[in-house]
Amino acid sequence: GGLPLIGASPDAVVRYPNGTLQPLEVKSHAPFAQGGSTRKSATYGKFTVRDPGPRDRVAAWHVPQIQMEMMCLGEGCTSALFLSSSATRGVTILQMGRDDAYLSSMLSLAGSFQSDFVDAGQPPPEDFFADRKGYAVSAPPLPVSLRAYIHSVWIT
């Protein structure tokens, strides 16, 4: 039982003069969208440039990755930087605080997956944790504890 080896690979690690470390995660968003929705449209079947710009929040599906990056940098790592890049409209840099309760829950789920399926040599069924308390099959809204930590630090 127990946890498998766990690691994380941020796009960069920012080291401040006082020794503080922050992972930096960069997500680039393509400015392209599918053209018109009807055959009568001049852009039907073609790509068009529709760049809504950089994101103004961290999507729920990026939270586990960013939290894991903070955990892997050690207890002294208390926040991470998330850079959302747009090809034509600049970047947004957001800061997310570390949430040890969230990490504990995530590691508990990873440990259960390891023992229930990997160590047991059993393939997991579809929606394998659907009945487990505290687990959501679809991406939930960001926990309130994380929402309070996320704020914009620079926008161009």
Euclidean distance between CA atoms 114 and 112, whole angstroms:
5
22-26, 85-89, 100-104: lowest mean pLDDT where? 85-89
Higher pLDDT, 39 or 94: 94
**Phi, psi values for residue 111, rounded to 5°:** -65, -40
CA 68, CA 146: separation in Å to the nearest integer? Answer: 14
Nearest to 146 by CA among 22, 59, 55, 16: 59
Cα 35 to chain centroid, rounded? 29
pLDDT tops 80 at residue 144: no
What's the mean pLDDT in 103-129?
89
Q: How many structural domains compose the chain?
A: 1
Q: Residue 121 has what pLDDT?
A: 95
Domain hosting 92: range is 12-107+141-155
pLDDT at residue 156 in the model: 35
Does residue 74 sit within a domain?
yes
Percentage, residues of the chain above pLDDT 90? 38
Does residue 134 lie in a domain region? no
Q: Which two tokens stand for residue 32?
A: 């392209």
Q: Tell me if 127 is assigned to some domain.
A: no
- Say which residue, 65 or 53, is predicted with more confidence: 65
pLDDT value of residue 123: 93
Confidence bin at 35 (pLDDT 50/70/90): confident
